[in-house]
Structure 1
């Protein structure tokens, strides 16, 4: 079994790999290899997945295997969902370039923290608003960038779950008009049902006076299980009860690099030829529905038809 590829911004230690495998009950390395061989052979026989499979690396496949808790059949379903849901929601994950996000970078940071959570081995993602001038901010562009980071990161990371920290410093009431519940819902579906990410928590910091309205919009757009994991913290000390300071940025009383510094390093990384190629390859990871032998994946797996249209915000 190959080692997890090294990345300067995504720390994965041999101890972390061991813990994650134990948590997912798949610490038998030979079993992992054998199962991945079976899954690769299965994909090669699915006409609608063959072309997309050329861009699924062994590393990526093992990450999906982790998320499926070592289930071969579960991994097959996850691959189906990943490749099909990406094609169903191209506005979130297709036709992207790094340059597209330069305007958003003036308004908001979005970065993975380098170290995994020591307890549950989740990766912590931080959103930090930089200015009260929110005109350039676009919720769809924001999620497109989130998924771009995620699809790049999955080639190097080794985690079955994620936590999200959202710093609302500089936010005013005008943000509410930019929160499209349908876009939020689609993003959650792609994240949890398509990619299969387990969301351990959404942690809100520096909440504005209208936080109840903001949380209401979030909870209406999210599944109940995820909505119940939204936490509003009144201090950084309170946040540290959930996320230890040794992995948090200096911004929040932590020991690691500032969010601004991490953001700059991520921008540099995403501009490299290697990253651009991975982003380009991700564009091709969609199923060819014209060759699918079974129909109605949307209804059977995603439950999406009509569900978005029923979403309302008072």
Structure 2
């Protein structure tokens, strides 16, 4: 890929592609194509993958998110495939407007369209109201995974800056409704999905 594909929701800095590739030591001509080819050949050899035809842009963003490490990129793809099989409730197909509609009553998640100067994407989440129910945590995890998968396919970034605002909720009530096992699983998925 010689340029970042245009996206109606995400904006990029003029130097994003060069900056990130240099940071990963993949800026010489042909290095990124070679890395994508190696990762693509590896995915096709994995007998336990259901889908072996992975989009080259997805492979590139995986390499970038792993800071140029092919071994980490392979482990990340393998982990995502494993999580999809072992934890299907986190990857359920949902219509965000209809199936997660009441989620917006208690949290307002936002991805900023512009990258920071060091090519990071900013994610904001404001939690409010005392009515946060235990079932809404899974909806929130699903929503965040959908966002992470969208960004993996369409974004080109150095990393994330995450802000969580809990000033308008009773934090003790909020924490008592958390399921620590689900939280741990969701965090593990977020770490390999981005």
**1:135 deviation in Å?**
4.2
Paired position in structure 2 for 1:275:
none
* Structure 2 residues not aligned, in runs of 5+: none
Q: Which residue of 1 aligns with 2:10?
A: 10
Aligned residue in 2 for 1:75: 73
TM-score (norm 2): 0.88
Say what the alpha-carbon RMSD is for the aligned residues.
Answer: 2.0
4+ residue segments displaced more than 6 Å: none
Displacement of 1:137 after TM fit? 6.6
Q: How many residues are aligned here?
A: 192
Greater Rg over alpha carbons, structure: 1
Report the Cα offset of residue 29 of structure 1.
4.0
Deviations 1:166-193 (A, max 9, x none): 111320242122222212211111122x
DSSP 3-state at the match of 2:110? strand
Rounded to whole Å, the distance in 1 between the matches of 2:55 and 2:64 is 14
Q: How does 1:91-170 map to 2 (within 5 A)?
A: 91-98=89-96, 99-119=98-118, 121-135=119-133, 138-170=136-168
Deviations 1:242-267 (A, max 9, x none): xxxxxxxxxxxxxxxxxxxxxxxxxx
In the alignment, the residues of structure 1 paired with residue 66 and residue 133 of structure 2 have an alpha-carbon distance, to the nearest angstrom, of 40
Paired position in structure 1 for 2:22: 22
1:8: how far off?
Answer: 2.5
Provide the secondary structure at the position in 2 that maps to 1:188: helix
Paired position in structure 2 for 1:88: 86
**TM-score, scaled relative to structure 1:** 0.56
Q: Is the aligned partner of 1:185 residue 2:184?
A: yes
CA deviation string 1:97-123 (max 9, x = no partner): 32211110222111211122213x221
Q: 1:15 to 1:134 in 2, by over 3 A?
A: same
Paired with 2:18 and 2:24, the residues of 1 have a C-alpha distance of 10
Deviation at 1:23, TM superposition (A): 1.7
Q: Do 1:104 and 1:137's aligned partners in 2 also have CA atoms closer than 8 Å?
A: no
